[in-house]
């Protein structure tokens, strides 16, 4: 087989996989419907559709030489055909046979082998025995031929991504995207127009400047000249002035016109970009049904295995959500369903004793919510979570102290604790155990939250709130010193300013009252391992209360800057997972800002050494201030370092301006003390560079030098130094005084 043919077959197989899984999915949805015993007309339609699906899959399988799939489909087709023509009637055995056939198809499709030479193609040696058609319960056993596909499936692995990375998108959405992309042409023309207008304007200015220069020359000439033709010269100048005035008016008008069209351009560009982004997000949306259609079969299997009759009710399956979120939610939802059936729903006898219908009921309800969020509620009508037992186990494992009163909500939230759920007793009684911690982690990773509601004897409901789109979400932008961070709004419960005197220490931890509740207080800087910037002792504290299902803690920040939509960017393949930082976003002119991981922060906050921070923090304040000393002389360096360290500052040294600049770029400093004469880069240049650097420009710079001329002082001030100390008049006192004043 040539390489080209091989590639073609690979492509064909990839296409087949997509098609086949659709047929399979559709059969998996239709079969439970048929089983629920619809009326005769509906039954006929369902059988007919199932028959056609099996038939199409058979044809497709034959086209790509998938003999085993073809055989399974063929048997299903025969059975369905007998049903269709009334040769046999539906019975549990028939369903069992059909389900088993579907079960056989699933692994076959997953490992669809690479095209093999016809001679090695697996031949199904065990077709469904004829007895089944007659209503018997014999079942096809996938036996000897199994070794064939398995061996080849291993080979087929590299071809796998071809199918899995394909996205189906409706033509309507694609057309909308195309239209928007075409519209971008208009922007190109708009920008070209503005550019040509500006070029014209600039030519106008050049002409004017030339004449202005001439007039200036004439004026200077006339000053040296004799006074007798003064009148004529004044006339000439007046004329030039009037011409200039006319030009000025013209240029002004033109400038205003350009301004207007640039503004118009900007507005339409903003509109188009937002629209395109929205539509692009739409293209990534899939209805929940694409995931939920797996579930009727799953529930049926679980119900059969556990011997509890259960019906599944799905509501809101047409609601769309980001494809990536949906993929991530598959396992958590399966886990919750399994829990609900295994442990939530009681046995039929027990249910009748409590006056409930024998058949249990599990529901999945999708509900759109405000602010681009979607709620998924997974509910059962089983026994519910027994609070007394949670309390008992919690007390035993130390999560809850003896006699501590905790409201129902807080108590129920404990089931998400990972240490908690492994307790065998809890798993016995309520069963909501192993894995709930993982479900919570998944949900929180997606920027969502989960909580549980349970009425004893009435059932349990897990409510998961997720963002509808993953790409952007709302975030609160906060700052610590000159660093900025984004906190996902979904975790921000409150933003508040609190007076320092309201901080009180409970069990060696700072707390503040928020909405009548006592909430733990930590400095975000401490949690992140940053230096706490100095702050006014009397100023109120700016706090952000963060919370998840388990706890809420108030974090002190310097300022809350904005609440805005942010675009989430992963940190790249090297940084798989960082403590406290989930991702980053791009703000303003390409500036990256870390997005914090709130569940991590809440955990880290507990680990931060408990200290009565709010009150005592101000005393050893300047010890935390970090200074950089740049001097090429070892003696001067050690002198400054010594003086400043004795005064309680943290001092780093650099050997010249370039070294200082590099150190400043990668470190965190509050002030720079620099010599002027240094090799490679002098102090003036260092100060200039610092003022030019977007991150460093606010950094106070103190120049210390032997140069004591007025020019040098002026030069120092021109390049942006905040203070200029001359070595001749240097003493310890004035350096410290200057540093203190600038910090």
**Smaller CB separation from other proteins, 384 or 594:** 594
- Name residues whose C-beta falls within 8 Å of residue 470's C-beta, 6 or more positions apart in sequence: 322, 324, 325, 446, 447, 568
- Indicate which single residue of 52, 84, 389, 483 sits in contact with other proteins (rule: CB under 8 A): 483
Residue 659 as a binder of other proteins (CB under 8 A): the answer is: yes
CB 547 within 8 A of CB 519: no
578 lies in the binding site for other proteins (CB under 8 A): yes
- Residue 586 interacts with other proteins (CB under 8 A): yes or no: yes
Q: Name, in order, each residue with C-beta under 8 angstroms of 450's C-beta and a sequence gap of 6 or more.
A: 416, 439, 440, 443, 444, 462, 463, 464, 465, 549
| Tokens, residue 34 | 């048929």
Output the smallest distance, CB 595 to other proteins, in A. 11
User: Does position 570 bind other proteins by CB under 8 A?
Assistant: yes
Task: Select the span of 196-204, 315-323, 555-563, 656-664 touching other proteins (CB under 8 A).
Answer: 656-664
Coil, helix or strand at residue 157 = helix
Indicate which single residue of 119, 164, 508, 574 sits in contact with other proteins (rule: CB under 8 A).
574
To other proteins, the closest distance from the beta carbon of 585 in angstroms equals 9
Q: Whole-angstrom Cα distance, residue 583 to residue 260?
A: 38
Query: Does the protein bind other proteins through residue 590 (CB under 8 A)?
Result: yes
Minimum CB separation from other proteins for residue 648, in Å?
Answer: 24
Q: Interface with other proteins by CB under 8 A: which range of 33-41, 264-272, 311-319, 658-666?
A: 658-666
Instruction: Transcribe 57-77 into DSSP letters.
Output: HHHHHHHTT-HHHHHHHHHHH
Contact 156, 113 (CB under 8 A): yes
Q: What is the 3-state secondary structure (H, E, C) of 634-682?
A: HHHHHHHHHHHHHCCCEEEEECCHHHHHHHHHHCCCCEEEEECCCCCCC
Cα separations in angstroms, 257 against 10, 209, 247, 250, 264: 59, 21, 15, 11, 11
Minimum separation from the CB atom of position 690 to other proteins (A): 15
Which of 433, 404, 459, 415 has its CA nearest to residue 549?
Answer: 415
- The residue within the footprint of other proteins, chosen from 148, 383, 467, 594 (CB under 8 A), is 594
Q: Which is nearer to other proteins, 403 or 572 (CB)?
A: 572
Asked if 418 is part of the footprint of other proteins (rule: CB under 8 A), the reply reads yes
What SS3 class is residue 127?
coil
Query: Is residue 694 within the footprint of other proteins (CB under 8 A)?
Result: yes
Strands 360-369 and 373-380: antiparallel
CA distance 281 to 471: 8
Which of 93, 311, 453, 600 is close enough to bind other proteins by CB under 8 A? 600
Q: Which is nearer to other proteins, 576 or 635 (CB)?
A: 576
Q: Which token pair is 49?
A: 């559709």
Closer residue to other proteins (CB): 324 or 483: 483
**Sign, CA torsion 102/104/107/108:** negative
**Quick one: 12 or 399, whose CB is closer to other proteins?**
399
Among 138, 169, 277, 571, binds other proteins (CB under 8 A): 571
Rg of the Cα trace of the chain? 37
- Closest CB to other proteins among 584 and 671? 584
Is the Cβ of residue 146 or residue 655 nearer to other proteins in the bound state? 655
Give the nearest distance from C-beta 663 to other proteins in angstroms.
Answer: 9
Q: How far is Cα of residue 496 from the mean position of the Cα atoms in its chain?
A: 25
Nearer to other proteins by C-beta: 108 or 584?
584
Q: Would you count residue 683 as binding other proteins (CB under 8 A)?
A: no
634-646 and 732-742 helices cross at what angle (nearest 10)? 60
The residue from 517, 662, 718, 734 that contacts other proteins (CB under 8 A) is 662
Give the per-residue contact string, 522-541, with other proteins (x = CB under 8 A; - = no).
Answer: ------xxx-----------
CB nearer other proteins, residue 380 or residue 659: 659
Among residues 131, 136, 368, 419, which is the contact residue for other proteins, using CB under 8 A? 419
Position 603 contacts other proteins (CB under 8 A): yes
Residue 592 touches other proteins, criterion: CB under 8 A: yes
Does residue number 577 form part of the binding site for other proteins (CB under 8 A)?
yes
What span, in angstroms and rounded, lies between the C-alpha atoms of 511 and 506? 7
666, 709, 728, 729: which one binds other proteins (CB under 8 A): 666
Q: Residues with Cβ < 8 Å from 254, sequence gap 6 or more?
A: 197, 200, 201, 204
Give me the 69-98 binding string for other proteins, x by CB under 8 A, dash otherwise.
------------------------------
Return the range that interacts with other proteins (CB under 8 A); candidates 167-175, 339-347, 492-500, 648-656.
648-656
Nearest to 384 by CA among 344, 443, 333: 344
Site string for other proteins, 230-269 (x = CB under 8 A): ----------------------------------------
Q: Does the footprint of other proteins cover residue 451 (CB under 8 A)? A: no
Q: Please list, in sequence order, all residues whose beta carbon lies within 8 angstroms of the beta carbon of residue 40, skipping any fewer than 6 positions away.
A: none
Rounded to a whole number of angstroms, the minimum distance from the CB of residue 685 to other proteins is 13
Choose between 302 and 598: whose C-beta lies nearer to other proteins. 598
Residue 223 interacting with other proteins (CB under 8 A): no
Among 214, 217, 695, 741, binds other proteins (CB under 8 A): 695
Q: Count of residues binding other proteins (CB under 8 A)?
A: 43
Contact between 448 and other proteins by CB under 8 A: the answer reads: no
Task: Decide: helix, strand or coil at residue 546.
Answer: strand
Q: How far is CA 602 from CA 77, 407, 443, 605, in A?
A: 57, 21, 16, 5
581 binds other proteins (CB under 8 A): yes
Q: How many CA atoms lie within 13 A of 143 on its CB side?
A: 8
Closest CA relative to residue 608, chosen from 508, 537, 535, 505: 508
* CB of 21 or CB of 688, closer to other proteins: 688
- The residue among 60 and 598 lying less far from other proteins, judged by its C-beta, is 598
| Residues 6+ away with beta carbon under 8 Å from 139 | 96, 97, 100, 128, 132
Residues paired with residue 506 on neighbouring β-strands, in sequence order:
509
The stretch near other proteins (CB under 8 A) out of 106-114, 143-151, 270-278, 602-610 is 602-610
| Closest distance of CB 422 from other proteins, Å | 13
Identified binder of other proteins from the candidate list 304, 569, 692, 697, rule CB under 8 A: 569
Which residues are near other proteins by CB under 8 A?
418-419, 483, 528-530, 569-581, 584, 586, 590-594, 600, 603-604, 607, 654-656, 658-659, 661-662, 665-666, 668, 680, 694-695
């Amino acid at each position: 087989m040539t390489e080209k043919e091989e590639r073609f077959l690979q492509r064909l197989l990839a296409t087949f996989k997509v098609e086949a899984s659709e047929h399979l999915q559709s059969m998996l949805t239709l079969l439970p419907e048929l089983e629920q015993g619809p009326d005769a007309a509906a039954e006929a339609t369902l059988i007919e559709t199932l028959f056609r699906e099996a038939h199409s899959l058979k044809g497709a399988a034959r086209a790509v030489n998938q003999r085993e799939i073809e055989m399974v489909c063929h048997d299903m087709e025969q059975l369905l055909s007998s049903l269709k023509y009334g040769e046999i009637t539906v019975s549990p055995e028939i369903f069992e046979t059909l389900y088993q056939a579907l079960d056989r198809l699933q692994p076959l499709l997953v490992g669809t082998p690479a095209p093999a030479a016809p001679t090695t193609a697996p031949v199904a040696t065990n077709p469904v025995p004829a007895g089944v058609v007659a209503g018997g319960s014999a079942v096809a056993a996938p036996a000897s031929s199994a070794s064939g596909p398995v061996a080849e499936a291993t080979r087929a692995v590299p071809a796998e991504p071809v199918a899995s990375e394909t996205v189906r998108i409706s033509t309507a959405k694609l057309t909308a995207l195309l239209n928007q992309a075409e519209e971008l042409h208009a922007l190109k023309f708009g920008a070209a127009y503005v550019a040509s207008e500006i070029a014209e304007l600039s030519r106008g200015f050049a002409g004017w400047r030339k004449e202005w220069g001439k007039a200036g020359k004439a004026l200077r000439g006339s000053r040296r000249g004799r006074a007798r033709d003064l009148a004529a010269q004044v006339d000439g100048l007046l004329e030039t002035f009037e011409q200039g005035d006319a030009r000025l008016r013209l240029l002004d008008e033109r400038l205003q016109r350009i301004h207007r069209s640039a503004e118009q351009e900007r507005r339409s560009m903003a509109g188009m970009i937002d629209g395109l982004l929205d539509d692009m997000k739409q293209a990534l949306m899939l209805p929940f049904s694409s995931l939920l259609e797996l579930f009727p079969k799953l529930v049926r299997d679980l119900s059969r295995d556990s011997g509890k009759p259960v019906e599944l009710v799905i509501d809101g399956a047409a609601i769309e959500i980001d494809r990536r979120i949906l993929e991530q939610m598959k396992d958590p939802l399966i886990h919750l369903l399994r829990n609900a059936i295994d442990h939530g729903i009681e046995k039929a006898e027990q249910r009748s004793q409590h006056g409930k219908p024998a058949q249990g009921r599990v529901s999945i309800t999708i509900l759109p919510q405000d602010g681009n969020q979607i709620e998924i509620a997974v509910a059962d009508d089983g026994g519910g979570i027994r609070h007394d037992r949670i309390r008992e186990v919690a007390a035993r494992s130390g999560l809850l102290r003896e006699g501590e009163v905790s409201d129902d909500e807080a108590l129920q939230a404990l089931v998400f604790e990972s240490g908690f759920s492994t307790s065998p007793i809890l798993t016995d009684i309520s069963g909501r155990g192993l894995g709930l911690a993982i479900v919570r982690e998944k949900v929180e990773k997606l920027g969502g939250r989960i909580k549980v509601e349970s009425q004893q004897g009435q059932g349990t409901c897990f409510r998961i709130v997720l963002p509808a789109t993953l790409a952007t979400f709302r975030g609160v932008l906060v700052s610590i010193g000159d660093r900025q961070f984004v906190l996902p709004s979904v975790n921000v419960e409150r933003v508040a300013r609190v007076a320092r005197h309201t901080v009180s220490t409970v069990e060696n931890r700072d707390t503040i009252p928020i909405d009548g509740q006592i909430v733990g207080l930590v400095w975000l800087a401490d949690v992140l391992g940053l230096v706490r910037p100095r702050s006014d002792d009397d100023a109120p504290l700016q706090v952000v209360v963060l919370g998840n299902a388990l706890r809420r803690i108030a974090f002190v920040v310097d300022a809350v800057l904005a609440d805005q939509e942010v675009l989430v960017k992963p940190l790249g393949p090297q940084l798989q997972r960082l403590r406290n930082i989930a991702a980053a976003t791009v703000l303003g002119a390409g500036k990256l800002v870390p997005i914090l991981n709130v569940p991590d922060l809440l955990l880290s906050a507990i680990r931060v050494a408990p200290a009565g921070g709010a009150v005592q923090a101000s005393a050893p304040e300047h010890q935390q201030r970090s200074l950089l000393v740049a001097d090429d002389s070892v003696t001067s360096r050690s002198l400054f370092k010594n003086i400043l360290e004795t005064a309680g500052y943290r001092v780093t040294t650099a050997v010249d301006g370039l070294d200082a600049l590099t150190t400043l770029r990668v470190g965190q400093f509050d002030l720079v003390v620099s010599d002027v004469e240094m090799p490679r880069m002098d102090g003036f240049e260092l100060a200039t560079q610092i003022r030019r650097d977007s991150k460093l420009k606010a950094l106070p710079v103190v120049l210390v030098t032997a140069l004591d001329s007025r020019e040098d002082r002026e030069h120092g001030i021109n390049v942006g130094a905040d203070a200029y100390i001359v070595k001749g008049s240097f003493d310890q006192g004035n350096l410290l005084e200057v540093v203190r004043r600038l910090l």
